[in-house]
Chains A and B, each alone.
Chain A
């Protein structure tokens, strides 16, 4: 079975500073990895996904994530935070052998951006 651990339930960053959200996964088979963002009072929206092509994945709104197999990590970064990045971020994992498309979500990280 696969699982995801997000380090830090809350992260506070200054506007213009680096955003770094940590995600570690556990999977016995090659994983698919996702980052979703949830803005207040909205559903989850896909930011980016790793599907075994390039290990550095670029997503929407200037976010990117790097898949590191040796570290079983898929950390999310953005060089310069914007006030509009305030949201909750979820890391999720799936595997190619899962026929049903089930995702295992992390507990989420709430990002606060301060002026």
Chain B
């Protein structure tokens, strides 16, 4: 299994630009999570989906952030417009919640730098 795939691995953009981060979960997993990690705030859960439906987006910091999961094998996290304080590493994780133990599998992350 290829694991959770995220793209791009690195993104450098200028303030005000739109940024789209992509995630492909592990095949067969039915929950998907987006996290943000910074030195100051640590690991933060932004939003999570179950069976492609957003369950809780209370962690999304502002309306500039949006996430979609159009099908079981793809999700996006969009920031529009981006700001320097959005610079962080963004992780996607997936899990199967159906008789297992909620173990999450993480992708390698996207390091976002907003200038």
CB < 8 Å: which of A94, A99, A100, A107 contacts B101? Answer: A94
0/1 per residue, A20-42, Cβ < 8 Å to B?
00000000000010101000011
Most chain B beta carbons < 10 A, residue from A32, A43, A94? A43
Assess A99 versus B108: contact at CB under 8 Å? Given A46-B103, A49-B103.
no
> For the complex, what is the distance from the CA of A90 to the CA of B101, rounded to whole Å?
17
A100 in contact with B103 (CB, 8 Å):
no
Interface of B is mostly: strand
Most chain A beta carbons < 10 A, residue from B33, B43, B102, B111? B102
Q: Does B87 interact with chain A (Cβ within 8 Å)?
A: no
**Which residues 80-104 in A have Cβ within 8 Å of B in the complex?**
90, 94, 98-103
Contact residues in B for A108 (Cβ distance below 8 Å)? 42-43
Assess A49 versus B101: contact at CB under 8 Å? Given A90-B43, A99-B50, A108-B43.
yes
A100 in contact with B55 (CB, 8 Å):
yes
B102 in contact with A43 (CB, 8 Å):
no
A100 in contact with B97 (CB, 8 Å):
yes
A101 in contact with B31 (CB, 8 Å):
yes
Contact residues in A for B56 (Cβ distance below 8 Å)? 100, 102
B106 in contact with A44 (CB, 8 Å):
yes
> For the complex, what is the distance from the CA of A43 to the CA of B111, rounded to whole Å?
11
B109 in contact with A98 (CB, 8 Å):
no
- Which 6 A-B residue pairs are closest in the complex by CB-CB distance? A43-B106, A101-B97, A94-B102, A101-B102, A101-B31, A101-B95
What are 16 A-B pairs with beta-carbon distances under 8 A?
A32-B101, A32-B102, A34-B103, A41-B111, A43-B91, A43-B109, A45-B106, A49-B101, A49-B103, A94-B101, A98-B97, A101-B95, A101-B97, A102-B102, A103-B102, A105-B43
